[in-house]
Structure formats: structure tokens, C-alpha cells
Structure 1
Amino acid sequence: MVSSITKFFSKIVERYLPDPLIFAMILTIIVFILSVTITPSTPIDVVQMWGDGFWGLLAFSMQMALVLVTGHALASSPLLRRGMGKMASLAHTPAQGVMLVTFMSTFCCIINWGFGLVVGALFAREVARRIPKVDYRLLIASAYMGFLAWHGGLSGSVPLAAATEGNPVEKLAGLIPISQTLLTPYNIFITVAILLTLPILTKLMIRPENEIVAIDPKLLKEDPPTSRKLPPNASIAEKLEESRILAYIIGLLGIVYFIFYFSHNGFNININIVNLIFFILGIILHGTPMSYMRAVQRAIGGTAGILVQFPFYAGIQIMMEQSGLGESITHFFVAISNVHTFPLLTFLSSGIVNLAVPSGGGHWVVQGPYVISAAKEIGANLGKATMAIAYGEAWMNMAQPFWALPALAIAGLKARDIMGFCLTALIYSGIIFIVGLYFF
């Protein structure tokens, strides 16, 4: 049954889902029209919002590009290649491969979303190299599905923002500690349920052998080593480029910084720390500056989708925020809810907003003030209201190809190749989120 549902969604997606760039352009037009018709903003107002905000995610775009590049470069180091290869060898059948990738990706996303997003896709490629008959599309989709659990883990941006001084909701309700969000029974239930049952779901998505789209293992062959052996008459410049001493000095600086950072900040891992960890470890494990640079040069081509599409989402987010469209959508759901249904309707509204604002931090800015104010007014649980926003954002990522771009770049696939599987995960995980929010 699950396989049939997935097959149905895949046919629809393959026929109607365009490239994510086209999706972003169409979404820009839709949000523009809704902003003009639903809010008091004039067309000129909205155009100005869009243009002013178009480059609003430049820093974030660079961060995401570096997640992809540094993660890919790190994984191409000899030690990591061998490590992922040994772990991938634990799977001997397509079903075991799909389940192992799903569990690995979900577990890593619970630790840190950036780490999980890249490692999951790279690990999926390792499994595909060893199991030729596995459905490569399902394998990469399984790696992306782990992203469903990220908001309930250690790097969930909404609950962490709610507990941080200076966030948009602090003046309305004070800080909302993680004891009321991440450490609650409902969040533990939802996160553990996704971690343990999602691999079973992906196993059930496996199609008959004659319908599987496998990939030629030759296309996944490992790149040649990036290290270079210098000739006896190498110049001083060449010796510096291939110097292990330089690489290890920079690595030592990084390690000292990490000790200092974590001793003062605890286990607070943000995207900049993830990138720096990937960067420093990559230099250490590649052994020389130019060996690392060659690995980066191989990885950098995959950033094209990020660099071109993220500005469109920056413009969409600003239109949603400044025109009041995001507020209008949130208010509609809040107006028809009561203390019992409030978390569920907030969850649904967050999912809708995520189509235009696929960012946890952006969600908190757009929805947080209105949702928390309403929760206080009707007496709803503030922590659960906060997590409802977070879950809605994570949930709708299965229908929004924004966060799939790094994984797709690593895999060499298009969004339509995996979204049919992801829509099935959308339905399944929606049940888990609703049960956790309503019954716990």
C-alpha cells in the first residue's frame, strides 16, 4: 500500500513539479498577488519589499554553500571515505540500505541539521556504491527525510530562539525555556517515533525490481585522491602548498578555539560552528592545504542552485513579513481555534507559511509574535505553541524543495526524482506530529 501511494505521488510530481528555480519563481508571483489582494499593501509597496529583501539571505546563502562544500570536502578525505564505507557495508540488501540511510540521516539531523543534511546524502552515495540494485532516488529521499526530526533535536532553531534573550517574543511572554519545548514528553515522543519508524516507512516504499531506478555504480565511483607527491626538485612554493606542517598548525588553532568555545557556550552548535568544524577537520584529514583546496574545487559546482534560488526565497520572506500576509494567515487559524485545537491549527498554519518562508528562524519572526500572543490570550501552552510552529516548518519541508538542494547537488538528482517519496513521508509524519501535539 505504501509503495502504491508513493508511486502515485511520484507520477504526479514527475509530470507537474518543475525545477526548484521555477517553483521559487512561481511562488514569488503567488505571494506577490496575495500580498496585494489580502493586505493593504499596494503593488508598488510589495515590489519595493521584494527588491529590498532580494539579497537579505546573502549571509545565509554563503553559510549553506559552505555546508555543502566543506561537508563534501571533509567526506572526500581518505579517513572519512573509509569510515563511511565500512558503515555502509553493514547493509547487504536494498531494504537494509534504505533503512540504514534513513536512520543515519535522522540521527545526525537530531544532533545538528546542517551535519545531518550533508552527511545523509554523502552516506547514501556510499550505500549506493555497494548495493547496485537499490533505488537511488529512494536512497537520497531517505537521506532528506531525516530532516523531519531536526526541530526536535539539539539544533532546533525555533525552540532555541524562544529560549534566547532578544528574540521577537521575549517582550510578549518572556523566555520560553527548553524544559517547556525540547525536553517535554510530546517532543521526545515525536522525535523518537520519527527516528525509529521512519526507516520502516522507507523500507515499505521499495518498489518491485522492474520499477526500481538504480544508478550505474560507475557513475558513483570515487574521485581520484587529492593528495600530490612532490618531485625531488620541487620549488619552495610547491613545498609550502603541500606542507603538512601548515595544515596541522591551522588545525591546532581550530582545535584550541573549539575547546574555548564549548567550555564557554556549552553544547551550542550553530551553522557557523558546523562549518568551522567541517573546515578544520577537512584540512587536518586531507593533510595539506592544496589537497584540501582540490577537494573544495570538486565540490563547489554543486552550489549553483543555492546561489541562484535563495535570493528568491529572501524576497518571498520579506513580502510575507512586511506586507502582513504571514500575519493574516496565522490570524485566520488562530481565530478558529480553542485551547485544545490551538497547537494543531498553529501546526497547519506553520506548514502553509513554510511554503513561502522555508526557514525556522524566519518562521519565528513571521509567526512567533502572533501565535504566542494568541496562546496567552486563550490560555494555551506556550511551549507547545512554540513547538507547533517548529513542527509545521519541519513537516512541510517534505513538500518544499528548498532544503533538498544541498542533498540533490551531492546526489546529482533533480527535485522531482525524490519528492514523490517525500510526499508519502509528509502524510505519515503528519500523523505523528498531530498525535504528539494533541494527545501528549
Structure 2
Amino acid sequence: MVGVISKFFTNIVNKYLPDPLVFAILLTIITFFLGITITPHSAMDMVNMWGDGFWNLLGFAMQMALVLVTGHALASSSPVKRAMTRLASVAKTPAQGVMLVGFSSAVACAINWGFGLVVGAMFAREVARRIPKSDYRLLIATAYMGFLTWHGGLSASIPLVAATKGNPMEKIAGLIPISSTIFTTYNIFITVALIILVPMLARMMMPKENEIIAIDPALLQDDTAAVVKALGPEATWAEKIEESRILALVVGVLGIVYLGAYFAKKGFDINVNTVNMIFLTAGVLLHKTPMAYVRAISAAARGTAGILIQFPFYAGIQIMMEHSGLGGIITNWFVNVATAETFPIMAFFSSALINFAVPSGGGHWVVQGPFVIPAAQALGADLGKAAMAIAYGEAWMNMAQPFWALPALAIAGLGVRDIMGYCVTALIFSGVIFIVGLHFL
């Protein structure tokens, strides 16, 4: 049954899902017209909001581009490739391979979303190399499906922000400690259940051998450009210092000392910047020379085009949703009909709908928090569960929103239509887990 469903959605996606940039443009148009029809704002107001917000995610876009290129460069180093090869060798059949990718990605994303998103796609490529009869599209889709666990894990942005002083909801509801969000029975159940579900679901979605689409072998070739360049006796001083292992060691030591001091002061606080610092420090050390690392980064940078061009469009959409009040109106459609018992489910579905326009955990807290949290207080609903409902809705609908798939697709060399049919299938079955956890636990 699962295979039939995934095949159906794959056919639908192949016919109707446009390129992610076109998808973002269509969402911009839809948000614009909803803003001028169901909010009191004029067309010019919406234009100004869009333009004012268009560049608001430049810092985040740079962070995500660096997650991609530093993660890719790290994974292309010889020691990491050998480690992934040894782990991938555990799987002997296509079924074992796809289940291993699903489990590894789900666990990695629960530890840190940026780490899991990049390493999961890298590991899927390695499994595809070792098991030639694997369906490469399903392997990459499975790596992305592991992203379902991120908002219940240690790097979950909404519960971490809700527990941080100075966050937008502190004056309304006070701080919501992580003991009421991440470390709750229902969240542990949901996260563990997803870690189990993703590999099992991937196994059931495997196409028959005669239905596997051949993949260009060039996509699976190792990048040999990042090796240390051998210098002859005629090498110039400039060439020698470019291939200096001492300079790479200096950078590595600086990074290690900084990270050690940071974690000693902040505790286990892993965010996008610390992930990038870890990736960069380890990458420079493992590639051994500055220019070897530059070559690895250059090879990885080709995949950042989608991130660089699409993030500004989503920044514009987010500001239109936030400043026009459209996000609040949509949220209120759901929470106004909720009871204390059904409130988490209503908040979950409202978050899922808004995720099409605001595919960002932090963005959801800004757009939805001012409406969801006061409503939860008025109904006497659990504030921690209300916050997690927003978080889960965002994580869940990522399976139908291609925004976060961009890094994985860039690493894999695939298009969004290659994986999204499988991801929509995962959306359907994982929804049961989220609903059970939110309503019954």
C-alpha cells in the first residue's frame, strides 16, 4: 500500500510541482492577493512590505550556504569519506541501505538539524555508490525525511527560543522551560517514533527493480580536486605557502580553542554558527592545506544557487504574512474553534498551513506565537504543548515544502520532483504520530 501511495504522489509531483524558485514566486503572488483581500492593507502596502522584507534573510542565507559548502567540503575529505564508506558497508542490500540512511539521518537531525541535513545527503550518496541497485532518488528523499525529527531534538528553535530570556512571548506568558517542551513524554515519544518510522517507511516505498530510474553515474563520482597538490622543486614561495600544512594547523587550533571556550561558557549550545565553525575547523584540518580546502569549497559552492536566489523571496513572504496580520488571521481560523483538548491539534494544523509561506521555525514563533500562546492561556491549555504544536507543524509540512530540501538536492545533484513524491507520502504517515503524541499523551 505504501509503495502504491508513493508512486501515486510521485506521478502527481512530476506533473504539477514546479521548480522551487517558481514555487516561491507563486507563494509570493498568493500571499500578496490574500493580503489585499482579507486584511485592511492596500496593494501598495503589500508591495512595500515585500520590498522592505526582501533582504531580511541575507544573514541566514549566508549561514545556510556555509552549512552546505563547509559540510560538503568536510565530507569530501579523505578521513570522513573513509568513515562513511565503513558505515555504508554495514548495508548489503538496497533495502538495508535505505533503512540505514533513514535511521542515520533521523538521529543526526535530532542532534542538530544543520548537521543532519548535510551529512544525511552525503551519506545517502555513499550508500548509492556502494549498492549500485539502490534507488538514488529514494535514498536522497529518505535523507530529507529524517528532517522530521529536528524540531523535537536538541537544536529545536521554537522550544529553545521560548526558554530564552527576551523572546517575544516572555512578556505574555513568561519563559517556557525545555522541561515542558523538549524533555516531555509526548516529545520523546514523537521523536523516537519518527526515528523508527522513517527507515521502515523508506523500506516500504522502495520501487520494484524494473521501476528504478537510472541515475547519471557522474552524480556519484568522488571529487578528486581537493587533494593536496604535490609541489616540485621549482615551486614558488607563493605556491609553497598556499600548500602549507602549518597555516591549516593554525586555523584548526584557533577554531578548536574558540569552540572549547564557547562550550565551556554556553554549555551544549549548538546553533548554525557553531555547526559552521565545527565544519570549517574540521574541514581545514582534514584537507591539510589552505588551497586543498579552497578547492573543496569551490566544488561545493556550485550547489548554493538555489539558496541564494530563493531565500530573499521567502523573506519577503514572511514579512507580508507578519506585518499585514495575515499569519494571525490564518492562525485564528484554527484556534478560535478549538477547545483545551483540541487546541494543540488546531495549532499544529495552522502552523503546517503557514509553513508554506514561512518555512522557518523562528519565523513561526514570530508570526504565530502572539496568537497561539494567549489563546492557549485563555483556554487553560498546556503552553509547552502549544509551543511544540507550532514547532511540529513546521517540521511536518517541510515534507511538502521544498525550501529545506535545497541543501540536500544541491549535494545530490537532483531536482525537487525527484524526491518530493516520497516526502509527501512521509507527510501522510508521520502526521499520525504527531497527532497521537499531541492529543493522547
TM-score (norm 2): 0.99
Q: Is the 8 A contact 1:103 1:198 kept in 2?
A: yes
One-letter amino acid of the structure 2 residue matched with residue 319 of structure 1: M
Residue in structure 1 matched with residue 394 of structure 2 by the alignment? 393
Q: Which residue of 1 aligns with 2:15?
A: 15
Deviation at 1:218, TM superposition (A): 4.8
On the 8 A contact 1:176/1:382 being kept in 2, the answer is yes
* Deviation digits for residues 24-67 of structure 1 (CA, Å, limit 9, x no counterpart): 00010000000110111110000000001001100000000000
Tell me if structure 2 keeps the 8 A contact 1:133–1:214: no
The question of whether the paired residues in 1 share the 8 Å contact of 2:197 and 2:430 is answered with no
- Which residue of 2 is the match for residue 29 of structure 1? 29
Secondary structure, aligned partner of 2:11: helix
Alignment-derived partner of residue 75 in structure 2: 75
How far did residue 157 of structure 1 move? 0.2
The answer on whether the counterparts of 1:321 and 1:366 sit within 8 Å (CA) in structure 2 is: yes
Stretches of structure 2 lacking an aligned partner (at least 5 in a row): none
* Distance in 2 (alpha carbons) for counterparts of 1:94 and 1:79: 25
- 2:257 is matched with 256
Aligned partner of residue 409 in structure 1, secondary structure: helix
1:225 CA drift (Å): 4.7
Q: Distance in 1 between matches of 2:397 and 2:107?
A: 19
Equivalent position of 1:199 in the other structure:
199
What whole-Å deviation, never above 9, does each CA across 1:393-433 have from its counterpart, x for those lacking one?
00000000000000001101111110000000000110000
* Equivalent runs, 1:193-342 vs 2, <5 Å: 193-226=193-226, 227-342=228-343
State the AA in 2 paired with 1:280.
T
Counterpart amino acid of 2:203?
K
Q: State how far apart, in whole Å, the 1-side matches of 2:434 and 2:55 are.
A: 34
The equivalent residue for 1:140 is: 140
1:164-175 matches, within 5 Å, as 164-175=164-175
Q: CA deviation at 1:369?
A: 1.4
8 Å Cα contact 1:132/1:215 also seen in 2:
no
SS at 2:285 equivalent: helix
Partners of 1:29 and 1:218 lie apart in 2 by 37
- SS of 1:187 mapped into structure 2: helix
Q: Residue 50 of structure 1 aligns with which residue?
A: 50
Secondary structure of 1:330 counterpart: helix
Give 1:398-409 correspondences, 5 Å limit: 398-409=399-410
Contact kept, 8 Å, 1:21 with 1:309, in 2: the verdict is yes
Q: Deviations over 1:76-114 (max 9, x none)?
A: 111001111111111111101100001111111001000
Letter in 1 for 2:197: T
Which secondary structure state, in structure 1, belongs to the residue aligned with residue 235 of structure 2? coil
1:197 is displaced (CA, Å) by 2.0
The separation in 2 between residues aligned to 1:292 and 1:218, in whole angstroms, is 22
Supply the AA of the counterpart residue of 2:144: Y
Residue type of the alignment partner of 1:29: I
1:281-335 CA-partner distances (Å, limit 9, x unpaired): 1000000000000000011010000001110000000000000000001111111
Inter-partner Cα distance in structure 1 for 2:423 and 2:16: 15
Work out whether residues 88 and 126 of structure 2, in 8 Å CA contact, stay in contact via their aligned partners in 1: yes
2:335 and 2:12 mapped to 1: Cα distance? Answer: 32
Query: What corresponds to 2:126 in structure 1?
Result: 126
Q: How far apart are the structure 1 equivalents of 2:134 and 2:218?
A: 14
**Post-superposition shift, 1:139?**
0.4
Task: Report deviation, 1:217.
Answer: 3.9
TM-score by length of 1: 0.99
Per-residue CA deviations over 1:371-411 (Å, capped at 9, x if unaligned) read: 00000011000000000000000000000000000000110
Q: Which amino acid aligns with 2:119?
A: V
Q: Partner letter of residue 87 of structure 2?
A: M
Tell me the percent identity: 68
Contact 2:105 2:147 in 1 (8 A): yes
Q: Is the CA contact 2:71–2:279 (under 8 Å) kept in the aligned structure 1?
A: yes
Per-residue CA deviations over 1:117-139 (Å, capped at 9, x if unaligned) read 00000000000001111111100
> Which amino acid in 2 is paired with 1:411?
A
TM-aligned CA deviation for residue 215 of structure 1: 2.2
Q: Aligned letter for 2:290?
A: P
- The amino acid across from 2:82 in the alignment is R
1:80 and 1:292 map into 2 onto residues whose CA distance is 14
Give the letter for the 1:117 counterpart.
Answer: L
Q: Please report how far the alpha carbon of residue 216 of structure 1 lies from its aligned counterpart in structure 2 after TM superposition.
A: 4.6
Q: Give, in whole Å, the separation in 2 of the partners of 1:216 and 1:427.
A: 30
Q: Aligned equivalents of 1:216 and 1:309: distance in 2?
A: 26
Query: In 1, distance between residues paired with 2:60 and 2:168?
Result: 19
Amino acid at match of 1:306: I
User: SS in structure 1 opposite 2:183?
Assistant: coil
Please list every run of at least 4 consecutive aligned residues from structure 1 whose deviation after the TM superposition is greater than 2 angstroms. Answer: 214-219
